[in-house]
Structure formats: C-alpha cells, structure tokens
C-alpha cells in the first residue's frame, strides 16, 4: 500500500469518524465530555434528591471540568423562585436554589461560563427569572405537519407514542432547560379537538413524564368546540351547564394523568376558529368558563388577542377594540396573550397598543421564532434585536418608563403569574431549526425570557462561542453579521414601515401587486396603499386613527409625519413620493436606497461567511454558505419586485448609482417566489 493511499484513507475514512458530528444536532450544547466520568465529587444536599437534581448532577459529572461543585436546596431563597445563587471560594462552588429545577438552571449556567472561559475563582452571582412561565408554542398538527414550520415535520410522533419514545424528546427538554424554558404548548393554536381524546392524552402524558425531569411543563391548545365535537353536547356555549361540566370532567381526566399539567392556550373567534362569540358571548365568558375548570388544579388559560374579523375598520385596531371593553372581567387565572405587533409578526411593527391598555387583566407577549415573515429557514435573521425592540418599547401607560417588559414581568402590574411566549421554529430536521443560525433565535428567546435585561450582543456572543468557536476571528465578524441581520431583512423586504406585502398564503416572497385574495385585508395593496400621490397606510386622525390607541405622547409622535420615527413612517402615514426625508432624499429615492442597502448587505454577509471557512467544520460552513446564496438571490428578487412595482406609481427613475433591476416585473408577477422555487 503506498503512503498516499494511507493518507487518503486517514483523511477520508478515519478522521471523519473520530471527529464529532457537526450537523447541528447538538445545538449550543457542545460541552466538553469528561472521560470516564471522573467528576464524581459533585454532590447534592437536600432532604430528598429529586429527579431534576439527578439530571443536574449528571450534566456536571459529564461536562464540568472545573473545581468541586455542591448543589443545595435552601427554601430561604424562595423569593428567587426557580432562580439560584452561585458562590465560589476557589476550592468549592455552591449552587443554591429553593427549587430543584433552579439547581439544574444553575448547573447549565456554570457550563455556559465554562464555555466562555470565565474566571470562576470568586464567583458570586444571583439569578432571578424575569418571567415565571417561559413558554414555547408549537404550531404542530396531529398529522405531523407544522403550520409555518420550516424545519421538517413535527418532533412529536403521535402515531408512535406512547409506545415508542424518540430520544429527541429528552434532547429537546434538555436544550430548553439549558436556557431556562420551562413550559411548552405541544400543538397548533388552530387546534384539532382530537388532542383531548383519551388516546392522545396518554401520548401527551408520556411526553410530560420525560419533560418533567428537565422542569418542562406541558400545556395544550384546545378547540373551543371540543365539548360539542367530542362530548356530543348541544353546543359549546360557555353558559351552558352541560358544557361547563364537560370541561370540568376533561380537566380532571388530564390532571389524573399529568398532575403538573400547565393549562390551555386558546385561539377563539379568529381566522375561522370557533369561540364564545358564536353564541353571543364574550371572550371573557369563554376564557372564564375554561379557566374555572382549571382553577382547582392551579392551571391557567392563555387566551389569545390575535383576532380580526372581516371589517371595514383597520385590522391593526381590532384586538384593542375587542379586548379593552372586557378589562376587569377576566378571572385571575387567565392571561391575555398578545402578539408583539398589531398586525402579524412582520419584520418590523410598532408594538401592539393593547400592551398597557388592559389595567386589570394580566398580559403576556407572543413572539414568533419561526420566520414566517422573515425568509423562513432560508434567511439569516437574528431576532434578539426584534424581541428587545418590543420589550423595551415604552408604552407610557403608567407614565414614562412603562415598558412592555415592565408591564408583563410583574413590575408595574403585579400578577399572580407572569409569562412570555414564542412560536417555536423546531422540527425534526437534524439541525432542529432548518438553518444553523435559526437555532440562535430559540436560544435568544429562552435567554431573554429568563433575563430581559440581557443585550442582543451578549446573547449572540454566548451563542456563537458555544455553537461554533471562540476564536475571535470568527466571533467578531459573525456577531456583527447577526446583530445587523434583522435590519437587513427589513431593508430588502419592507423598509420605512411598509408591511405585509408578502405573497398571499405562503408569506415567503413579495407580492406588492393586487392578488385575488378572499378578503381585502389579505391583499398587500390594503397595507401599502401605493397610488400616484404616494405610499403608506394613513393611521392618523385623517385616516383610520389607529394612532389614538397609543398613550400620550406616542399618539402625537406617531400621528405627526414630522415626528413619526422614519422606520415606521409608512405604517402610520400615506406619504407623497417627493416627501423630503431627514437625510434630504425624497421618499422615493430613500426607498430605493433602502432596498439596495439590504441587497448589498447580504452580499457582504456572503463575504464575511466565506472568510470563516478555516475556523469551523466543513458541513456547517457549506450549509450556511448555500443558505446565504439563496438569501442573496431572494433579496434581489424582493428589491426588483418592490421597486419595479412601486415605480409604476412614483413614475420616477431608480437612482442611477443603484444596481439596475435584473428581473422584468411581468416575469416576477408570473412566478410567485416560494420555497419550491429553490428546489
């Protein structure tokens, strides 16, 4: 055998088999592994060592390479809830919490610090979570598909459960625990009633039993008509005693199987889902009836405010109009779950004016991690800046400083329980989220739910070092790319407050032109209103007056074209094409430059990424590289579609220092840019 052959054999066969799999399946959990499990010194002191403590010990034994660690339960730390203290004296590190799960979170905190190579000699820190319930919403259907899911089919194998248990259930729970996520809604808010059949509840129980080890509680989305469909009641009227009884019995059945079951998430009277209004009742009547059934077991109802019926009024106003009159009528185990913006998870929206407007009803945020409106799992968009933009928005509801974070975390409006949610981007793909960088959004949501004070940069930094490498030649440029990436998507899709000009149905590519949708608020022209005079949605007093739903002084600030932030200009105003922007450019020119900047920045990302090749494994390098190619092509498509179409109204040239369109408008109209387009 010649030497060359042996070399080849080594590099092609032996080496790959000894290198760890770099397919993304390990997420950010790439801790070093202690050979032979030598770290047996870790010990736990508590009256009873529960399962979650053993999981914490297992993590440390396997992955902690530092000094001795002791885990202690101390009820005196009750005020920290499931938070913890970590103290060290050079020889010994003590993690203390009032709750077992707090010790698990503390263990993961240590592993995070180890990955960051932090100096732990005299470590002394206290952590208390920002929100009690930190919950993922899966839009997973019982047939295995996922609504707005871009990482393959559902993780939950309903037809195999409860007999066959995928190892990924535990991996999923572990990943969540590592970032403090402690709750999950397993099924789509467009809920099949079947989830409440005994057969399915047994499957849910199996998942709950696995998740419990990691402090992860199970919740379900339920269909408001369930009693009628499953129980044969005459109707599902919340005031019908037979209906109430059905819910009470069903809840009892659930808690018998799952004693720590969390509660229900409900989408009612929205997009065709049944609800109390079908019987002339209110959202409060519906939510309370179900909440009462859960009350004896400490369960809660998360009732969604995402409602918009066909109406002549501005869709952006509807949640506020329907829910504000009901303030004070909800029972105390109901929380109103509100999407971050008033329309629908757009690349940029102002915050939903319902935040702060309910004074006697607890409110929680719903974010969307899955990128329904940000390029699915094809585009790189780090969402921590979007999440923070909402959390840090000042509503002025209780005077200056009434941020959405403080309104929902119990600071300004004390609540029995506080919560924060996000629609998951997780599927059965090997790398969980479809795009390696989409994992960072799952991570970022968990970290912000734990501590909304963390900056987007800190979170990106942690995630990059844990997921890829801590070589600064990689970390610095990649972090910069992540931090600007959401704004870049805004630039090439919908700059200056433009919104919802997505292709109807799939929401991937652009469709600013008129479509044949069933409802006018499902067409993009409803939102952009481009005509020969200008572009944008007039939500001022002369238009829909949605600005009046914001507290003073925001109503004035947004309502005045001169003071409205330019990144929301066309959300609130219909603006003439020749309107002069703050930088002196006309609106039309500015729009052109924004789209162009978006395109150019994605090309920069390609260059940045190509230079990272020496620092990471080939597989992930190539996979991200090919996604960036798609993103760059899509960005051009967006720019051409929007500029060529809007130009039919502005009737002005595209500034000559901008790259010319490479598409014809008529061609773009013929092919709707969707995922299939790339296959």
Ligand X SMILES: CO[C@H]1[C@H](O)[C@@H](O)[C@H](O)O[C@@H]1C(=O)O
Task: Say if CB 638 and CB 510 are below 8 A apart.
Answer: yes
Which residue number is nearest to ligand X in terms of Cβ?
344
What tokens appear for 495 in the block? 């700059």
Closer residue to ligand X, CB minimum distance, 190 or 515: 190
Quote the DSSP letter at residue 44: E
Least separation in angstroms between residue 505's CB and ligand X is 9
Least separation in angstroms between residue 173's CB and ligand X is 24
What tokens appear for 653 in the block? 């040239």
Closer residue to ligand X, CB minimum distance, 344 or 429: 344
365/420 Cα distance (integer angstroms): 5
Q: Name the one residue in this structure whose structure tokens are 């990302």.
A: 605
Check residue 649 and give left, alpha or beta (phi > 0: left; psi -120 to 50: alpha): alpha
Closest to 436 measured CA to CA, from 147, 19, 138, 26: 26
Instruction: Give the CA distances from residue 173 to residues 52, 169, 248, 449, 581, in Å, rounded to whole numbers and listed in that order.
Output: 12, 6, 29, 16, 49
Least separation in angstroms between residue 367's CB and ligand X is 11
Least separation in angstroms between residue 267's CB and ligand X is 5
664 belongs to the catalytic site: no
Least separation in angstroms between residue 345's CB and ligand X is 6
How many other CB atoms sit within 10 Å of the CB of residue 92? 12
Q: What would the DSSP string read from start to end of 86-147?
A: EEE-SSEEEEEESSHHHHHHHHHHHHHHHHTT---TT-EEEE--S-SEEEEE--B-TTS-BT
Least separation in angstroms between residue 273's CB and ligand X is 8
Closer residue to ligand X, CB minimum distance, 266 or 546: 266
**Is the bond leading into 616 cis (omega within 30 degrees of zero)?**
no
Helix pair angle (198-212, 241-257), 10° resolution: 40
For residue 265, list its beta bridge partners: 221, 302
Task: Say if CB 288 and CB 334 are below 8 A apart.
Answer: yes
Closer residue to ligand X, CB minimum distance, 271 or 531: 271
Closer residue to ligand X, CB minimum distance, 85 or 372: 372
Task: Say if CB 133 and CB 419 are below 8 A apart.
Answer: yes
Instruction: Spell out a b/e string for 386-413, using b for 16 or more CB atoms within 10 Å of the CB, else e.
Output: bbbbbbebbbbbeeeebbbbbbbbbebb
**CB-based burial label for 633 (10 Å; 0-12, 13-18, 19+):** middle
Closest to 345 measured CA to CA, from 496, 148, 485: 148
Is residue 389 helix, strand or coil? Answer: helix
Instruction: Spell out a b/e string for 231-246, using b for 16 or more CB atoms within 10 Å of the CB, else e.
Output: bebeebbbebeebbeb
How many other CB atoms sit within 10 Å of the CB of residue 643? 20
498/645 Cα distance (integer angstroms): 14
Closer residue to ligand X, CB minimum distance, 273 or 431: 273
Least separation in angstroms between residue 641's CB and ligand X is 20
What tokens appear for 25 in the block? 């399946």
Closer residue to ligand X, CB minimum distance, 132 or 140: 140
Q: Name the one residue in this structure whose structure tokens are 């067409």.
A: 523
Least separation in angstroms between residue 304's CB and ligand X is 7
Q: Name the one residue in this structure whose structure tokens are 């059905």.
A: 246
Contact residues: ligand X, CB under 6 A: 139, 147-148, 189-190, 267, 271, 306, 344-345, 372
- Which is it for strands 84-88 and 363-368: parallel, antiparallel or unpaired? unpaired
Least separation in angstroms between residue 396's CB and ligand X is 27
CA angle (386, 391, 395) in 5-degree steps: 120
Closest to 59 measured CA to CA, from 86, 89, 39, 36: 39
Closest to 185 measured CA to CA, from 138, 122, 238: 138
271 belongs to the catalytic site: yes
Closer residue to ligand X, CB minimum distance, 306 or 645: 306
237 belongs to the catalytic site: no
Least separation in angstroms between residue 627's CB and ligand X is 23
Instruction: Give the CA distances from residue 580 to residues 66, 529, 650, in Å, rounded to whole numbers and listed in that order.
Output: 60, 19, 14
Least separation in angstroms between residue 124's CB and ligand X is 43
Catalytic residue among 292, 372, 491, 521: 372
209/211 Cα distance (integer angstroms): 6
Catalytic residue among 292, 344, 409, 538: 344
What tokens appear for 243 in the block? 């209906």
Closer residue to ligand X, CB minimum distance, 502 or 593: 502
Catalytic residue among 159, 199, 271, 541: 271
Least separation in angstroms between residue 148's CB and ligand X is 5
The residues carrying an active-site annotation are: 271, 344, 372
């Amino acid at each position: 055998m010649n030497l060359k052959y042996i070399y080849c054999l080594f590099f092609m066969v032996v080496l790959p088999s000894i290198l760890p799999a770099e397919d993304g399946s390990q997420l950010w959990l790439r801790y070093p592994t202690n050979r032979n499990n030598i770290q047996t010194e870790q010990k736990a002191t508590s009256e009873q060592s529960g399962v979650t403590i053993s999981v914490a010990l297992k993590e440390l034994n396997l992955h902690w390479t530092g000094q001795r660690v002791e885990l202690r339960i101390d009820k005196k730390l009750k005020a920290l809830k499931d938070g913890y203290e970590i103290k060290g004296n050079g020889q010994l590190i003590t993690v203390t919490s009032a709750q077992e799960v707090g010790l698990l979170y503390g263990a993961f905190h240590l592993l995070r610090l180890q990955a960051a190579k932090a100096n732990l000699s005299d470590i002394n820190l206290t952590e208390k979570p920002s929100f009690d319930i930190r919950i993922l919403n899966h839009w997973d259907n019982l047939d295995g598909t996922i609504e707005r899911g871009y990482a393959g089919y559902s993780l939950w194998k309903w037809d195999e459960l409860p007999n066959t248990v995928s190892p990924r259930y535990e991996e999923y729970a572990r990943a969540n625990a590592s970032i403090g996520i402690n709750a999950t809604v397993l099924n789509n808010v467009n809920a099949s009633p079947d989830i409440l059949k005994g057969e399915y509840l047994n499957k849910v129980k199996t998942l709950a039993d696995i998740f419990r080890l990691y402090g992860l509680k199970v919740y379900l989305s339920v269909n408001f008509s369930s009693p009628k469909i499953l129980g044969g009641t005459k109707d599902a009227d919340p005031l019908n005693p037979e209906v109430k009884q059905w819910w009470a019995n069903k809840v009892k059945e659930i808690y018998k199987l799952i004693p720590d079951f969390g509660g229900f998430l409900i989408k009612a009277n929205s997009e065709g889902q049944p609800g109390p209004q079908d019987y002339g009742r209110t959202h409060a009547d519906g939510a309370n009836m179900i909440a009462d059934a859960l009350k004896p077991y400490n369960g809660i109802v998360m009732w969604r405010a995402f409602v918009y019926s066909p109406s002549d009024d501005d869709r952006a106003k509807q949640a506020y109009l329907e829910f504000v009159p009901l303030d004070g009528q909800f029972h105390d185990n109901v929380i109103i779950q509100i999407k971050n913006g008033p329309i629908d998870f757009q690349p940029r929206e102002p915050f939903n004016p319902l935040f702060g407007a309910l004074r006697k009803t607890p409110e929680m945020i719903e974010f969307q991690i899955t990128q329904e409106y940000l390029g699915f799992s094809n585009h790189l968009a780090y969402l921590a800046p979007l999440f923070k933009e909402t959390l840090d928005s000042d509503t002025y509801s209780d005077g200056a400083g009434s941020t959405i974070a403080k309104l929902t975390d119990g600071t300004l409006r004390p609540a029995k329980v506080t919560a924060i949610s996000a629609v998951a981007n997780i599927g059965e793909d090997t790398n969980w989220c479809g795009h390696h960088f989409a994992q960072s959004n799952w991570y970022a949501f968990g970290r912000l739910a734990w501590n909304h004070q963390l900056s987007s940069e800190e979170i990106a930094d942690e995630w990059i070092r844990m997921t890829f490498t801590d070589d600064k030649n990689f970390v610095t440029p990649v972090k910069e790319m992540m931090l600007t990436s959401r704004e870049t998507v805004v630039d090439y899709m919908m700059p200056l407050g433009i919104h919802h000009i997505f292709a109807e149905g799939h929401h991937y590519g652009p469709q600013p032109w008129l479509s044949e949708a069933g409802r006018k608020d499902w067409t993009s022209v409803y939102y952009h209103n481009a005509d020969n005079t200008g572009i944008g949605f007039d939500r001022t007093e002369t238009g829909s007056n949605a600005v009046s739903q914001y507290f003073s002084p925001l109503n004035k600030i947004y309502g005045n074209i001169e003071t409205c932030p330019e990144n929301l200009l066309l959300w609130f105003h219909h603006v003439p094409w020749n309107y002069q922007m703050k930088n002196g450019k006309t609106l039309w020119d500015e729009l052109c430059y924004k789209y162009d900047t978006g395109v150019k920045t994605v090309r920069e990302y390609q260059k940045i990424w190509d230079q990272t090749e020496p620092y990471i494994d080939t597989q992930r390098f190539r996979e991200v590289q090919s996604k960036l190619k798609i993103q760059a092509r899509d960005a051009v498509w967006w720019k051409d579609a929007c500029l060529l179409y809007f130009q039919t109204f502005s009737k002005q040239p595209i500034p000559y220092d901008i790259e010319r369109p490479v598409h014809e408008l008529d061609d773009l109209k013929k092919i709707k840019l969707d995922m299939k387009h790339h296959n």
